[in-house]
Amino acid sequence: MSDHSSLPGPAGDGPAAALTLALRLAARDDEAEGIVSLTLVDPSGAALPPFTPGSHLLVECAPGVVRAYSLCNAPAERHRYLLGVLREPASRGGSAAVHEDWVVGRTVRVSPPRNHFPLVESSGRVLLLGGGIGITPLLAMAERLHAQGRPFALHYCTRTAARTAFAERLRQAPFAASVHLHHDDGPAEAAFDAARLLGARGPHDHVYACGPAGFLAHAMETARQAGWPASQLHQEVFQASVETSPGDQPFEIVVANRDITVQVPVGETALHALARAGIDVMFSCEQGVCGACVTGVIEGEPDHRDQYLTEADRARNDCFTPCCSRSRTPRLVIEI
């Protein structure tokens, strides 16, 4: 997953409290330009807690700096966790610390696996669509689907061959015939064609897409136009930068229990605006995946953009994720 952070919070609260596993960095390998893979094992050789495809770990990259990264090895493996980490250009200490400071033998504190991007058990065809470092959770899905003998195709989009992580693994995989690589600078006949891929669907088919917001918006909109129902579409955003939508408007947040009002302009997250005003909110992923920053809402209607809250949670309008969500009303009253 993408570069993530945590603000200070109460002792024993938030992402840091979830870092209950102390693992050893057993291997570190360069996978592509700006991307390393990391193998974590139990120091005593014990089996690790199991995980399901689409899972991630919260990882302490440096003291007080917690990030979320997807597991990309086969879920059947219990002897290791494999992560892929892209060095983000605007890293505030997470991926930069991993790339610059981590050496084999290092002790790494992580959480048990968590999954907000699960693979649905179904008899239909599965399309896995990955953009950039978004390939990581899809690798675990491909391993699981192959082990089950389920039909699938993995389409992996990158800017260049040199920026294609895990390319050799995919070439050597027993499911290599189901893998399709698409490079921005590649031949036109090998370009990623979402309309063609998503033009036909079966009642039990599913699409899983992971990557930058622009990549996902294109894939999901193409699927919807082709008639895919929401129940068969699954996505996870890997994007560290603040994403804006054409309809975004500035709004104000009133922190009711502190009698503080904070202005949130277009292009700034509510989380950052609160931090700018001196209000600490614990967070981890900054993408609405982990749930660490969920905050109570007393008045107003949030514009939910996370992947953590359920539809029932959203319908109640009594909480939101300030790391990525905004407000549909000019004023949002919250309690921290």
CATH, range 126-237: 3.40.50.80
pLDDT, greater one: 21 or 258: 21
* Superfamily holding 15-115: Translation factors (2.40.30.10)
11 pLDDT above the threshold of 70 = no
263 pLDDT above the threshold of 80 = yes
CATH, range 251-335: 3.10.20.30
pLDDT tens digits, residue range 31-80?
A: 999 999 999 999 999 999 999 999 999 899 988 788 889 999 999 999 99
| Per-residue pLDDT band at 308 (split at 50, 70, 90) | confident
pTM reported for the whole predicted model:
0.78
CA distance 198 to 196: 6
Closest residue by Cα to residue 13 from 51, 86, 66: 66
Angle (CA) 66-72-74 rounded to 5° is: 135
| Per-residue pLDDT band at 6 (split at 50, 70, 90) | very low
Q: Facing residues of 303 across strands?
A: 326
pLDDT tens digits, residue range 274-293?
A: 988 888 787 766 777 778 78
Residue 194 CA neighbour count, 13 Å, CB half = 20
333 pLDDT above the threshold of 60 = yes
pLDDT of residue 47: 98
Return the beta strands (E) in the chain as ranges.
Answer: 21-32, 35-41, 55-62, 65-70, 81-86, 107-110, 114-115, 126-131, 152-158, 179-183, 206-211, 233-237, 251-255, 260-264, 295-299, 302-303, 319-320, 326-327, 331-335
Domain parsing of the chain, residue ranges: 15-115, 126-237, 251-335
pLDDT of residue 4: 34
pLDDT of residue 8: 31
126 pLDDT above the threshold of 60 = yes
272 pLDDT above the threshold of 50 = yes
Residue 67 CA neighbour count, 13 Å, CB half = 27
